[in-house]
Structure 1
């Protein structure tokens, strides 16, 4: 698996990361979650991304991978739902991290994100100071922000974060074009989410009211052509090798899909001529599109 330096953090991450939301679902059995998590590490995927809001995900990672903690970089998110604290306060960060460490059965979280609060919340000094204190205490290694648009841009410029997580894909390039260059100049690590654009191309008709709806609309306007590639390879290689991206996270409960995605990323970047067609389509249609929240 391709490995990369994660900004200036000193961490090494695989180009393909694992989004652990699916394995937190209650309809996924413990045995199934355990098989997927161990296969992730066996494939050489070294970034695991979870969150307080992902059901059983943190607890299962801690229970099933406690004996392999040295094999992966652990990314989580919070700011809400901490027992004994009001959401988006300094106490919610302090207690939330303490409780996450217990669920994850570890003494530190490598990358801890504020999980997509709006700009006015993100700028609260009590939140930022609590993150600073957690990092100084060694409970987290990198303070991070997960989100889009103006809040993401502020996070990068603020100097208070060592990493960001944001959407980067064929149909969502605001962050790629407007924020990631500054993030890399400042030495921040970058995790890209939604790299396969919610598989929007698989819907023959507009998925009204569903998660991929916005991306479906954008792809209709972009009229991209993957050439000889299948759409998943086209999308995943685009995001994984986009300028400034350190790792892309894909979420699945399927071992077959996981192994397929790992093989795709090992193929490397898209051909320059295919990248040029994506850029031309975005220049023509995408100027007014913000990041999808």
Structure 2
């Protein structure tokens, strides 16, 4: 599997990734997700993507990758948790990250993204667009500084 350096990071990611929406109870659950992930890893895929908004995907992915002995790049997102979700509440956002870590069974998140940062009628993420500001960016800066 071809890999590429991801942006300005030192991460070498496969050109294909496992998408997390259907690595959930929406499509087969843990056993099927684990089978799919193991096969993808055997073929050289090292990246997988999930999100709190993808049903129980984070929990399913966490169970499925437990015990898989391969270096994985795990991506998840901010958005959708806790309910009611308030993208302007940095403590709620921090709780969401902690919950993602717990569900994924990891001590770090390789890539954390803002889910649908500019989709109309989605979440009001930003307190300013010029320059782009808001609690999500503040938290991401905090997490990055912490390692």
2:60 maps to what in 1? 60
- Answering whether residue 97 of structure 2 is matched by residue 88 of structure 1, we say no
Kept in 2: contact 1:93–1:131 (CA 8 A): no
CA distance in 2, matches of 1:69, 1:97: 24
- SS of 2:82's equivalent? coil
3-state SS of the aligned residue for 1:74? strand
1:79-122 superposed Cα distances (whole Å, 9 cap, x missing partner): 33126x74212123211110000000000010000001338623
Normalised by the length of structure 2, the TM-score is: 0.82
Aligned to 1:129: 138
Q: Tell me the secondary structure at the aligned position of residue 66 of structure 2.
A: helix
Cα offset for 1:8?
1.1
1:2 CA displacement: 0.2
Aligned to 1:252: none
Deviation at 1:18, TM superposition (A): 1.3
Report deviation, 1:70.
4.7
Structure 1 residues 139-150: aligned runs within 5 Å: none
Q: Which residue of 2 aligns with 1:32?
A: 32
Deviation of 1:131 after TM superposition, in Å, equals 1.2
SS in 1 for 2:125: helix
Structure 2 gaps of 5+ residues are 127-131
Q: Deviations over 1:127-153 (max 9, x none)?
A: 211111122223xxxxxxxxxxxxxxx
How far apart, in 2, do the equivalents of 1:36 and 1:81 lie? Answer: 27
Aligned to 1:10: 10
Name the CA shift for 1:75/1:23 in 2 (closer, same or farther; >3 Å).
same
TM-score by length of 1: 0.43
Distance 2:51 2:69 in 1: 17
Find the structure with the greater CA-based Rg: 1
Q: Deviations over 1:170-229 (max 9, x none)?
A: xxxxxxxxxxxxxxxxxxxxxxxxxxxxxxxxxxxxxxxxxxxxxxxxxxxxxxxxxxxx
Q: Quote the offset at 1:58 in angstroms.
A: 1.0
- 1:230 paired residue number: none
Distance in 2 between residues matched to 1:11 and 1:49, nearest whole Å: 15
- Partners of 1:66 and 1:135 in 2: CA distance: 25
Runs of at least 5 residues in structure 1 that lack an aligned partner in the other structure: 139-293
Bigger share in helix = 1
Aligned length: 137
